[in-house]
Structure 1
Amino acid sequence: MSDKAERRAARDVVGKYHEAELGKLVARVGEAVDRYRAGELDAFAVDQVVFQYSRAAKELWKFCNLEPVESAASMIQDYPPQEWWERGAPRKR
């Protein structure tokens, strides 16, 4: 396989992973909004979920876009990171 084809395949792996993981993060926000509408959460709790989503999505984006694409694809295939939500948690003081 040529370098160009390998990079294209790696971009495809990373793109699909990014979309799948981002979908999981978005689902958490959707669940929080649904719970707010049902009266189970207040606006502050939803805001906290949105804040954590934002941080987690940024960490996911950095992994998928700042790593060399071949390295990121290799990591995804061998040991896919899955703790993006936890990475977005506010830091303890």
Structure 2
Amino acid sequence: MARKAERQAARASVAAYHEAQLGVLIEHVGRAVDRFRAGEQDAFEVDAAIHRFHRAARQLWSFCAQSGSQVESAAHLIARMADDGDTIDWWQRGAPARARSAEDLGV
């Protein structure tokens, strides 16, 4: 029974992380929409932000959609990152591959 409780706690931890990280991604899209409304961005730039959100959210979902012992591993990783002050920049991971490569090279 303790194992079941551990797995449920792990699922809850991963779900909370997933929701929090989705919120961060949604904020990026919200800022893009706000800049569009202020006339600082055009519709194509907002569209690019929405596509980036989609790619990032899909990767986040893949990370969080674990089952069995994998959910416990994901929960341990999330806890370790929190303890170490590490984060995964899902928005960065949602960047098109070409943009990620250029940023990695410092371009």
Give the TM-score, by structure 1 length: 0.93
Q: Confirm or deny that 1:59 pairs with 2:59.
A: yes
RMSD of aligned Cα (Å): 1.6
Gaps of 5+ in 1: none
Alpha-carbon distance in 1 for matches of 2:66, 2:92: 20
1:7-86 aligned at under 5 Å gives the runs 7-66=7-66, 68-79=70-81, 81-86=87-92
Please identify runs of 4+ aligned residues in structure 1 that moved more than 4 A. none
Gaps of 5+ in 2: 102-107
Alpha-carbon distance in 1 for matches of 2:33, 2:73: 36
Aligned length: 93
Q: Judge which range, 76-85 or 23-32, deviates more.
A: 76-85
Q: Which has the higher contact order (CA 8 A, sep 6+)?
A: 1
